[in-house]
Amino acid sequence: MKKTFLMLPLAALALASCGSASASSALASSEASSAGASSALDGYEVKIVTPIGAPAIAFYDQGNNANWVSSSDPTNVVLPAFGTDNFDAIVFDGTTGLNVIKKNSYNYKLAQWVSGGNFYVVSTKHAAAEAFESSDKIDGFVKTGNAAQSFLELAAIRWDWSLDATADYPTGSVKWEAGVANVLTNLTTNPSGFDYYVIAEPMLTAAKTALAAQSITLNVIFNLQTEWAAQTGQLTIPAAALFVNNTSYASHKGAIDEFLADTQTRQDVAVTDVAAVATALDAYGNDDKVQGRFGFTSALASALQADGADKFGILKTGDIADREEFANAFANQISGLDVVTYGSSLFL
């Protein structure tokens, strides 16, 4: 079957003007803005919106930055920002961001990649891949995102699932959540509610810990990165990317270039010096406060990033030689088309 998952219509996402973030955004409007929020070049303060979870580690020292919105609901809080000029920068699933920009001619470009895949298929009801069937009930997140798209592609070409020709998803019962935080909630409050869950780190380790306290074992059935590499030969699955508003960049190029460089430096530190990350997170507040703002605690970040393990999947300087090629290599695998899916005009 010829699949065009990456070109799925996105109108159903009802893009609207960006509203206020959920409580888990931990908006810092009453707190002092971090020194890292503004540029030494012109004093301009870059306004940014991101999901909580793995990409938020790239902002580990920005907890008190009043210009940074972090949300547990990326579909309804982060994604609609592309249709506005409310933010100078957006972190979102890279492929989905490129798709909405291309489809709607939105005023953003992809500036840099933040993370590669950290996606897994897990279950409390099954312990082995042999039990994996297309009729099973599955809980995943952001249907247009790369976790879902790589999962669907692997289901079709590696696990030989039957796909619905009109809906492009397995014939079993698949529920797509607004964000990975929703999957975590479902998994930890109703572990047997689905046969399988598609989840990402650091939520996976958080789920393992919570379920262990209930004497429940969470089995990792598939590491989607390993499966993807075996099937395609690609290094990893693209995940989060940082997009920049064109108007903001034209007006404040120096400030935004500095912001991008600082963000890349934090990405590097998140992989190579997790002790510095933990120190900054601990300085921001207690576990509940850090969890709400970032989607993980300092202890969890320390465990997953220890000794360069980088289970967050954060991309360091030099990991991605060509931003455009990285996106198109994945897109061509998903769509099965030997054409360039994203042109250079979509990249900063």
Domains contained in the chain, CATH given: 5-116+238-346 (3.40.190.10), 122-232 (3.40.190)
Asked whether residue 341 carries a pLDDT value surpassing 60, the answer given is yes
For the residues 43-68, what does the mean pLDDT come to? Answer: 96
Rounded Cα gap, residues 216 and 112, in angstroms: 39
Asked whether residue 213 carries a pLDDT value surpassing 60, the answer given is yes
**pLDDT at residue 276, rounded to an integer:** 98
Q: Per residue in 125-170, pLDDT tens?
A: 998 776 666 678 899 998 878 888 898 888 877 777 765 544 455 5
pLDDT range class, residue 13, cuts 50, 70, 90: very low
**pLDDT at residue 58, rounded to an integer:** 98
Number of other residues whose CB lies within 10 A of the CB of residue 283: 12
**Mean pLDDT (the chain, rounded):** 84
**pLDDT at residue 340, rounded to an integer:** 63
Model confidence pTM above 0.85: no
- Per the model's pLDDT, the better-predicted residue between 345 and 32 turns out to be 345
